[in-house]
């Protein structure tokens, strides 16, 4: 149980102290130190941390006693804290996009990549999260987006495509079937054909991404290429199957 309490964002001493207080109901710092096996020199710091995190409350009076917050309320407070921290972090990251640092880094990136040959502009992506993040990046500012996939792939990428493809983009999706719910989502932003697919790749007007592993694998792999010949060849393949 103590191990699982760490999922609440508690360290070992905090987990022991809160569990002890749940069992005891109300207790002083001294008694909690003995019950939880937490050094007395650390107990007040631990209690202060638990109080800030919303797991306990201090009771009025002398000697000072503490009362445990119910687990259900503690979970809600953890969720609220995580939301608040995440929102602040996202806002901070978004603000960096307009900073002089990012502008300078983008300038360096463009300068260094301008002289690379097509075969050098390749990379291996590991994991569905990284692959989907890369797809979102390459389709967000694309004028053309062609996706060839399977029925299962269409279902998994429906929200991704609908959220990141801009209105007016030439977007076509080729699949070998699929759930009508996800196909309807895709049709809001793309022309969809269920008479082909099977090959697994996405190609835009600038870059391409090939899926290498099977969709059932625990870790998926893909290779991206920013090579004009590769992009052109995949477009030709897509258009021939689309017709």
> Do 137 and 207 reside in the same domain of the chain?
yes
Instruction: Tell me, yes or no, whether 79 lies in a domain.
Output: no
* pLDDT exceeds 60 at position 31: yes
Residues 6 or more apart whose Cβ sits within 8 Å of residue 160:
132, 135, 136
* pLDDT at position 147: 93
Q: What is the mean pLDDT of the chain?
A: 85
Integer Cα distance of 62 and 138 in angstroms: 63
* pLDDT at position 215: 61
Instruction: Tell me, yes or no, whether 83 lies in a domain.
Output: no
Over residues 12-32, mean pLDDT: 89
* pLDDT at position 217: 54
Question: What's the domain range around 128?
Answer: 122-242
Q: What is the CATH number of the domain that holds 20?
A: 1.10.10.10
Integer Cα distance of 190 and 171 in angstroms: 5
- Among 58, 73, 88, the domain boundary falls at 73
> Do 62 and 165 reside in the same domain of the chain?
no
Dump pLDDT digits (tens) for 154-209.
898 899 999 999 888 999 999 988 888 899 999 999 999 988 777 899 999 888 88
- Structural domains of the chain, count: 2
> Do 238 and 127 reside in the same domain of the chain?
yes
**32, 47 in Cβ contact below 8 A?**
yes
* pLDDT at position 61: 78
Over residues 20-46, mean pLDDT: 89
Dump pLDDT digits (tens) for 2-19.
777 777 788 899 988 988
Dump pLDDT digits (tens) for 84-106.
888 888 888 888 877 888 778 77
Secondary structure E strands in the chain = 26-28, 56-59, 65-68, 122-126, 144-148, 170-174, 191-193, 201-204, 208-211, 221-225
> Do 138 and 64 reside in the same domain of the chain?
no
- Among 73, 97, 130, the domain boundary falls at 73
Q: What is the CATH number of the domain that holds 138?
A: 3.30.870.10
Strand order in the sheet with 56-59: 26-28, 65-68, 56-59
Instruction: Tell me, yes or no, whether 93 lies in a domain.
Output: no
Sign of the C-alpha dihedral computed for residues 102, 105, 106 and 107 taken in this order: positive
Instruction: Tell me, yes or no, whether 102 lies in a domain.
Output: no
Over residues 211-215, mean pLDDT: 73
> Do 67 and 131 reside in the same domain of the chain?
no
Instruction: Tell me, yes or no, whether 167 lies in a domain.
Output: yes
**183, 154 in Cβ contact below 8 A?**
yes
* Predicted model pTM: 0.58
Dump pLDDT digits (tens) for 102-119.
778 777 766 655 555 544
> Do 68 and 128 reside in the same domain of the chain?
no
Integer Cα distance of 243 and 210 in angstroms: 21
> Do 170 and 64 reside in the same domain of the chain?
no
């Amino acid at each position: 149980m103590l191990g699982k309490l760490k999922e609440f964002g508690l360290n070992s001493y905090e987990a022991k102290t809160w569990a002890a207080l749940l069992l005891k109901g109300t207790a002083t710092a001294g008694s909690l130190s003995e019950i939880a096996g937490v050094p007395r020199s650390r107990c007040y710091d631990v209690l202060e941390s638990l109080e800030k995190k919303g797991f306990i409350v201090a009771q009025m009076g002398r000697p000072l006693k503490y009362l445990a917050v119910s687990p259900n309320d503690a979970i809600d407070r953890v969720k609220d804290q995580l939301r608040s921290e995440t929102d602040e972090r996202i806002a901070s990251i978004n603000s960096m996009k307009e900073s002089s640092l990012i502008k300078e880094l983008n300038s360096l990136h463009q300068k260094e990549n301008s002289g690379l040959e097509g075969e050098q502009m390749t990379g291996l992506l590991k994991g569905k999260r990284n692959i989907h993040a890369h797809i979102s990046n390459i389709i967000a500012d694309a004028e053309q987006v062609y996706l060839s996939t399977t029925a299962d792939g269409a279902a998994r990428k429906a929200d991704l495509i609908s959220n990141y493809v801009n209105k007016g983009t030439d977007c076509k999706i080729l699949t070998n079937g699929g759930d009508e719910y996800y196909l309807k989502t895709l049709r809001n932003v793309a022309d969809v054909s269920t008479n082909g697919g099977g090959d697994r790749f996405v190609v835009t007007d600038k870059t391409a991404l090939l899926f290498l592993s099977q969709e059932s694998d625990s870790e998926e792999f893909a290779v991206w290429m920013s090579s004009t010949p590769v992009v052109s060849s995949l477009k030709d393949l897509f258009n021939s199957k689309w017709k």
